[in-house]
Structure 1
Amino acid sequence: MLNKILCLLVALCMGLTAAAQENNEARQLLDRVADAFRQAEGVEIAFEVRAPEGTSEGRIRLKGEKFRLDTEGITTWFDGRTQWTYLENSDEVNVSEPTAEELQSINPYAWLSLYKNGYMLKMGEQADPRLHKVMMTASRQGSELQCLILYVDKQTLRPAKLSLVRKGDREAVVVLVRSYQTGQKYDDALFTFDKRAYPTAEVIDLR
């Protein structure tokens, strides 16, 4: 039953068409959400990811374009240009410079700039009166992120849930926000890999 629901979600996203006024309403809401996020300074978010391959929990700390993402067995740092990904099982660190589209599958909050280009926007019907529902559909079939459905708390303008459909996937990935703390003070060093903390790790430069 779950698979059928998710496949229906994908089909709905692929077939979306939006009137100009609907686009404007959705875009204005996302502008407000993005502004609220940027004004919050450092942000710490605990979340749960429900994907076809299983369920996991994690924490992401953000400061502007920088982030540190901690999930089960994997830690990712991004300083705005360079990304380091530590894999606990193999004790190795992969170093890369991801594109904007590649970041979409790593950082759930990359939509803060993503929605401005290449996506059709539409407000969706939402059963929960406390939430807004915004639907984003890629205008190009080759986009890494084909569809994103965002649920936003009406009072705080904070994301409550994200549903993502990636290129080549038939099922959605759902990100549930468990806690959201703003005003955090982070040193820039938090967003870069410190070799001293992982002395035995093999560093693999993929740039």
Structure 2
Amino acid sequence: MKKSIFTILTLLFFSVGLFASAGLIASVELFTSVELFTQNSAESRKIIDKTYNDYISSEGIKLSFVLTTIDSDGEEFDSQKGVASIKANKFHLEMNDMDVWFDGKTQWVLMKSIDEVNISNPSESELASISPLALLGMYKDGYLLKAPASKTLNNKGVHLIEMTPIDATKEFKSINIYIEKVSGRLIQAFFTLKNNMQTKIDITNYNDNYKFNDSDFIFDKSQYKDTEVIDLR
């Protein structure tokens, strides 16, 4: 099952920068939950804040990832590998079936199966869905954080933090994130949907001091001379 570009970007950037759409508090019961959240999740928030601040202070990030879909019975049935390059509001996403470039204004999507590039200028609302900086830090408002649990993942000591959306209408039922204790980097995330389908993201080869040129986030037509270009701007 192939995921949309929006879904992939949302999952990946949430994992890298720990962001999500803010939830709205709609009842006294939720206010009570928020009060408990404030009292009980200080340690988890401190751990996540460090990861978030490391992202903000980075000159550029380059990483490899594997995005795996898991059905409600726990069976893995789709896996996609990729490389993400991120600098402030700019990014380049490389995957098996597509590449995406975004220079902060213009987006190029290369669909490899048909050798076609679509060019667009996302609207303000669309930018809020794909721009790392536009979404960074919004985790602070929309989720209840459980106290961190000490676990081992890939022979590394990690903090497991479960995040539950305050707004019950959200797509995700829960998000489990695994942050390495020594480096403070997120190395795995599990997103559980309401139908119990899951998406797992494993992050490897994480370089948070990568030097990029602005041209790295722009589609270079000279490298794709036979590719059809469709300008949707």
Same fold by TM-score, threshold 0.5 exceeded?
yes
The interval holding the TM-score normalised by the smaller chain is 0.7 to 0.9
Change (3 A) 1:36 1:146: same
**Number of the residue aligned with 2:19:** none
Structure 1 residue 121: Cα displacement: 2.3
C-alpha separation in 2, matches of 1:111 and 1:23: 21
Any idea what the Cα deviations from partners look like across 1:66-87, whole Å, max 9, x if unmatched?
2111111211112234322211
**Number of the residue aligned with 2:102:** 78
CA RMSD of aligned residues (A): 2.9
User: 5 Å matches for 1:95-174?
Assistant: 95-96=119-120, 97=122, 98-101=126-129, 103=130, 112-128=136-152, 130-165=157-192, 170-174=196-200
Unaligned 5+ segments in structure 2 are 1-32, 71-76
Post-superposition, which runs of at least 4 consecutive aligned residues in structure 1 deviate over 4 A? none
Question: Do 2:151 and 2:160's aligned partners in 1 also have CA atoms closer than 8 Å?
Answer: no
Any idea what the Cα deviations from partners look like across 1:23-52, whole Å, max 9, x if unmatched?
332222221111112223222111211114
**Number of the residue aligned with 1:189:** 215
C-alpha separation in 1, matches of 2:115 and 2:85: 22
C-alpha separation in 1, matches of 2:87 and 2:104: 10
Identity %: 29
Q: How many residues align?
A: 187
Question: Do 2:159 and 2:180's aligned partners in 1 also have CA atoms closer than 8 Å?
Answer: yes
Q: One-letter code of the match for 2:67?
A: V
**Number of the residue aligned with 1:8:** none
With normalisation by structure 1, the TM-score equals 0.75
C-alpha separation in 1, matches of 2:160 and 2:134: 18
Any idea what the Cα deviations from partners look like across 1:114-169, whole Å, max 9, x if unmatched?
31232222234243271112222222344455532211111111111111235x65
Unaligned 5+ segments in structure 1 are 1-16
**Number of the residue aligned with 1:44:** 62
Question: Do 1:135 and 1:148's aligned partners in 2 also have CA atoms closer than 8 Å?
Answer: yes
**Number of the residue aligned with 1:55:** 79
Mean alpha-carbon deviation: is it higher for 136-145 or for 154-163? 136-145
**Number of the residue aligned with 2:91:** 67
Mean alpha-carbon deviation: is it higher for 138-147 or for 55-64? 138-147
Question: Do 1:115 and 1:136's aligned partners in 2 also have CA atoms closer than 8 Å?
Answer: no
With normalisation by structure 2, the TM-score equals 0.68
Mean alpha-carbon deviation: is it higher for 52-61 or for 186-195? 52-61
Q: What is the aligned counterpart of 1:32 among 50, 54, 68?
A: 50
Change (3 A) 1:26 1:206: farther
Q: Considering only CA atoms, is the larger Rg found in Structure 1 or Structure 2?
A: 2
